[in-house]
Amino acid sequence: MSKLLRSREGFEDSVVFRYTILGYSSFAIWHFERSNEGMPLVVAFEGLPGGGKTTVIRLLIQALCAACLRAVSVDIDTSAYASALRVATDALSLDNSVRSMHFWAMRIHQYRIVQEMQEHMDVIVMDRMWATALAFDGYGNGVPAAILDWIGQNLTPPDVTFLLQAPLKVLRARKKSRTMRDRAFAERVEKGYAQLARIHSWHCVDATRTPEDVKEQCLAIIYAALAKKRLP
């Protein structure tokens, strides 16, 4: 359950909203003059570890808040809930299909968080969302697509999805995670992400560039999506 805390941070006409979500905190600025019409733009970042999602998201939130937009980021994968879930599934040596269902529960919880934030935010940026399970479990671990489609059939996809891409050798040099140590697995996930991007018309971003350059490209797309969303 998220908690909404209000505090003044030296802004004469603003309130800083701090969301504490499963141990993860984010800040957003709410200008009193902004209207509360419409739903927030939900943005998701996907990709293999080492693509720079966390850094780019942090820069984006800073830029959006500086533009007087109410923006917040959510990373449920780093929460205590997610860590406990990984420990439990590893200890039980579950079949990949069963393991996938456990992690889909985590993804579904993300949607609950988004619902709780809707009336307070203009932009919600998710560090991974529904597509992570499709790429890692479906393409990476071979969980049948029928199972994943059945579990996620009622989940609404994000308004905008960015796929941060870089050569595997670059990603492996940046991130020494378990995912990246298994090259064959990483290659399957990489191919899965590429296919998902084509099917769902994601925005593919060259993650070998500087975080600032990546942020600027993503920011332009977000502004365009916001303008389109608010058209009558």
The architecture in CATH of the region 36-229 reads 3-Layer(aba) Sandwich (3.40)
Assign 9 a pLDDT band (cuts: 50, 70, 90). Answer: very low
Q: Residue ranges per domain, the chain? A: 36-229
CA–CA gap between residue 111 and residue 157 (Å, rounded): 10
SS3 sequence of 182-208: CHHHHHHHHHHHHHHHHHHCCEEEECC
Closest CA to 47 of 225, 222, 221, 197: 197
Q: What is the pTM of this model?
A: 0.77
Residue type, 205: V
pLDDT at 94: 67
pLDDT over 80 at 20, yes or no: no
Retrieve residue 54's tokens: 């966390």
Of the ranges 108-112, 169-173, 204-208, 210-214, which one carries the lowest mean pLDDT score? Answer: 108-112
Token duo for residue 130: 């529904």
How far, in Å, CA of 212 to CA of 153, rounded?
36
Percent of the chain with pLDDT over 70: 70
Residue 75 confidence (pLDDT): 84
Residues 92-136 have pLDDT tens digits of 776 776 666 666 677 777 778 888 888 889 999 999 988 888 999
